[in-house]
Amino acid sequence: MPTRYVESARLPTDWGVFDMHGFEDASDNKEHVVLTMGDVSDGEPVLARVHSECLTGDALFSLRCDCGNQLEAGLKAISEAGRGALFYLRQEGRGIGLLNKIRAYKLQDAGADTVEANEQLGFGADMRDYSILGPMLEHLNIQQVRLMTNNPRKVAALEAAGVNVVERIPVHTDHNPHNEKYLKTKGAKLGHLFND
């Protein structure tokens, strides 16, 4: 099995104390984490967010995307529910990596949208792989999720990976002048849904 569990520890945050579970994907040596709160192994549907790494949005507060806002919204919703799981996958830039993401930003500065920029660099619009979730869900004994996402393709990908998605819950984030084109492209070209 390419993805293996490594260790767990407590992680206090502004949204409460989570348990952090570390996993390693032997196929590419990437390390992923799952933050859980409450009992997620009782067989009941688990409030979940599958979040792909976005260093620029999550840690550097970029206004070019809504990733940091979605991460915070996911942690807040889980905290308010008292139970849930946030899967943090190391798939920067929809799977193209940080340096290629910077190259894509340069193309966007010249007028390309996010999909066009990835394609001009020789990548698909979205290169993320959700099959790595299977071993994580199995280890945590999560059988059903109520998925916080605006991306119906993510729901389809999780279901194809054997995850029972019983509900899609929209994630509401703020729009700003820097991410307006990005969000429009997500809706028009990637099928993201931004309302209930």
- Identify whether 14 is a catalytic site residue: no
Half-sphere exposure for 193 (CA within 13 Å, toward CB): 13
Q: Is 40 annotated as a binding residue?
A: no
Could you say which of 58, 128, 146, 168 is catalytic?
Answer: 128
Reduced to 3 states (helix: H, G, I; strand: E, B; else coil), residue 103 is: helix
The 8-class DSSP code of residue 57 comes to: I
Catalytic residue among 25, 58, 126, 146: 126
**Does the annotation place 94 within a ligand binding site?**
yes
- The span from the CA of 16 to the CA of 89, in Å, is 21
Could you tell me which of 140, 132, 166 has the C-alpha nearest to residue 32? Answer: 132
Q: Is 154 annotated as a binding residue?
A: yes
Residue 62 marked ligand-binding: no
Note if 174 is an active site residue.
Answer: no
The residue to which tokens 């946030």 are assigned: 86
Q: Is 4 annotated as a binding residue?
A: no
Binding-site annotation, residues:
49-54, 65, 67, 70, 92-94, 114, 149, 154
Which residues participate in the annotated binding site for Zn(2+)? 54, 65, 67
Active-site residues: which are they? 126, 128
Residues tagged in the binding site annotation for GTP: 49-53, 70, 92-94, 114, 149, 154
